[in-house]
Amino acid sequence: MKFFSYATLAAVLLALGGCAGLGPTDASSNQAGPATTSEPAATPSHTPQYPDGALTPISELDAAPRTVTALTAPADLWERIRRGFAMPDLQSELVPGREQWYAARPEELENMAERSRKYLFHIVEELERRNMPTELALLPFIESAYNPQAYSRARAAGMWQFIPSTGKLYQLKQNAFRDDRRDVLASTRAALDYLERLHGMFGDWHLALASYNWGEGSVGRAIAKNQRQHKGTGYLDLNMPMETRYYIPKLQAMKNIVAQPEKFKVKLPVIDNHPYFDSVTITRDIDVALAAKLAEVPLEDFKALNPSLHRPVILAAGTPQILLPWDNAAIFQRNMDAYAGSRLSSWTVWIAPSTMKTAEAAKRVKMDEADLRHANQIPPNMIIRAGSTLLVPRPTHQERDVTERIADNGQLALTPEMALRRVVYKAGKRDTVNTIARRFGLAPAKVAEWNHVSPSASFKPGQQIVVHRWMPLHPTTAYRPPAAARSTRVVKR
């Protein structure tokens, strides 16, 4: 075997690097010249070429001319995802059942895939930039069916299903005007940050995903328990809730379907390997409807790309960019430059100076109560608490936009309308006027007065006790008093 100098090897690598990008320009560039010296060749056309992983020139292995195939990016995004699969396959008896479940619902599967069209390219780009497995681009199928407006019983929101506390931990703002758990860019950044951190903790993608679903503390305790019992500590070895037990089999099933859709008789929609959206900087407050109009995008499509917005206005100080379909970003900018209107926003913010009913707030800001409720998403029978930020019509003379402090931190705090009610309880063992007063935060003298006894009196077990309490005027769920004193009836006053 002949050995070459580092200078020769560098020249060879440079020659190969040029060929990989552009390919040969004529037949002479494909000829492998003789390699009889350790010095660099005089011209690139005679530079020795090497097969992958070899130190011997092609001329010594095979005299036939060879070309270097140009690298091409996949035209289809699904193929790009397949090329990036990097997790070990989960070998579980639960996977075939999940495959059958998805394959038996082709319409639902196609709807999910169609929803993903708007977001998938960005997620794949971010995964590749971080050198993470592209299987993770399929995780929102499992979490939310790729619906950025998804909301769970556990108060998890968005494509990646962040609960409020974890969202705050990963800098996802949740205020009166936006919820970044639904924001396409912010939530994807947070989810991948979280998954990277979990993978760093456990060194295993299956355990990282189990932690994403169940919590790293729960997975850590399950691993510690198995270690004490001298059991395995892999994902399949752990005792976990049923939801987590099925979580990764669902992802594996989706991976298998994307890998071989024809095997499962599934037709994935064609998604081009091209960005769906572009981001546009916002420098002034602007109504959502006007932004969609200037972008020449249907309002529903605009909201699908900007699902974090809570209100009918975009506050530039808090949301400095919006997402638009790729070709519409330039259209928006052109129409914005040509817009003749003096104001882009018809809304501003009013801070409630005290706790008040919505009718009173509407009167103060000169709005119809129904319009105030609609603009701020206030349910019936709720009272607005002091310090709440409310969206109200912007006066014609007001030029100033909403400040960053309010746009980033404004909150709407509500409390149910309350009414004083007469409630009758049955006394428990050793109940006295003082114990009842402490239990319900009442004055002992009032409890004694309502029950026509002295402040030092005791009650017999089962004796009826009358108290007056502030309770929701229109409770949405049945009211349950403390366990020590169950109500026999409630009398409104």
- CATH 1.10.530.10 maps onto the chain at 77-264
* Average pLDDT of the residues in 467-476: 69
pLDDT bracket for residue 340 (50, 70, 90): confident
Interval 131-157: pLDDT, tens: 999 999 999 999 999 999 999 999 999
Q: pTM of this prediction? A: 0.73
pLDDT at 15: 39
Decide: 325 and 284 in contact? Cβ < 8 Å: no
3-state percent breakdown (helix, strand, coil) of the chain, nearest 5: 45, 15, 45
Interval 286-324: pLDDT, tens: 999 999 999 999 999 999 999 999 999 999 999 999 999
Q: Residue 131 region, left (φ>0) first, then alpha (ψ -120 to 50), else beta? A: left
pLDDT at 27: 35
Half-sphere exposure of 33 (CA within 13 A, CB side): 14
Decide: 133 and 124 in contact? Cβ < 8 Å: no
Residue whose token pair is 């592209």:
134
Segment (H or E) for 435 = helix 433-440
Rounded CA-CA distance 422/466 in Å is: 7
Q: State the average pLDDT for the chain.
A: 85
pLDDT at 487: 39
Segment (H or E) for 277 = strand 277-281
Looking at per-residue pLDDT, the higher value among 52 and 443 belongs to 443
Alpha carbon distance, N-terminus to C-terminus of the chain: 102
Decide: 126 and 188 in contact? Cβ < 8 Å: yes
Looking at per-residue pLDDT, the higher value among 443 and 489 belongs to 443
Across 54-63, 330-339, 418-427, 484-493, least confident range: 484-493
pLDDT at 75: 80
Across 33-47, 254-268, 357-371, 437-451, least confident range: 33-47
Instruction: List the Cα angle 361/365/369 in 5-degree steps.
Output: 55
- Distances in Å between the Cα of 10 and the Cα atoms of 5, 7, 25, 335, 466 are 9, 5, 22, 52, 93
pLDDT at 473: 65
Rounded CA-CA distance 198/192 in Å is: 10
| Both tokens assigned to 126 | 């971010």
Residue 475 — φ and ψ, nearest 5°? -65, 135
* Average pLDDT of the residues in 169-182: 96
360: closest CA among 383, 376, 380? Answer: 383
* Average pLDDT of the residues in 257-271: 95
Helices (H), 23-86: 58-61, 77-83
Kindly write down the DSSP assignment for every residue of 365-403, as one continuous string.
TT--HHHHHHHHTPPTTEEEPTT-EEEEEPPTT--PPPP
DSSP letter assigned to residue 487:
E
pLDDT at 416: 86
138-171 CB burial, b ≥16 within 10 A, e <16: bbbbbbbbbbbebeeeeebbbbbbbeeebbeebe
Decide: 298 and 147 in contact? Cβ < 8 Å: no
pLDDT at 334 over 80: yes
Decide: 125 and 80 in contact? Cβ < 8 Å: no
pLDDT bracket for residue 25 (50, 70, 90): very low
Looking at per-residue pLDDT, the higher value among 99 and 12 belongs to 99
| Both tokens assigned to 13 | 């690598």
Segment (H or E) for 351 = strand 347-351
pLDDT at 58 over 70: no
Name the percent of the chain lying above pLDDT 70. Answer: 81
Rounded CA-CA distance 81/113 in Å is: 13
Q: Which of these is catalytic: 126, 143, 216, 296?
A: 143
pLDDT at 186 over 70: yes
Residue 21 — φ and ψ, nearest 5°? -80, -40
Decide: 314 and 288 in contact? Cβ < 8 Å: yes
pLDDT at 32: 36
pLDDT at 38 over 90: no
* Average pLDDT of the residues in 223-246: 97
- Distances in Å between the Cα of 372 and the Cα atoms of 311, 316, 375, 378, 426 are 12, 22, 5, 8, 43
Rounded CA-CA distance 65/80 in Å is: 31
Decide: 235 and 206 in contact? Cβ < 8 Å: yes
pLDDT at 417: 82
pLDDT at 40: 38
Looking at per-residue pLDDT, the higher value among 4 and 100 belongs to 100
- 358 SS3 class: helix
pLDDT at 475: 52
pLDDT at 396 over 50: yes
DSSP letter assigned to residue 68:
P
pLDDT at 257 over 90: yes
* Average pLDDT of the residues in 454-462: 93
Residue whose token pair is 């970003």:
329
pLDDT at 298: 97
pLDDT bracket for residue 474 (50, 70, 90): low
Decide: 353 and 385 in contact? Cβ < 8 Å: no
Indicate the fold that domain 77-264 takes in CATH. Answer: Lysozyme (1.10.530)
Is 216 labeled as catalytic in the residue annotation?
Answer: no
Helix axes 216-228, 184-202, angle to 10 degrees: 20
For β-strands 277-281 and 321-325, DSSP reports them as: antiparallel
Rounded CA-CA distance 394/345 in Å is: 8
Segment (H or E) for 250 = helix 242-259
Decide: 471 and 421 in contact? Cβ < 8 Å: yes
pLDDT at 127: 98
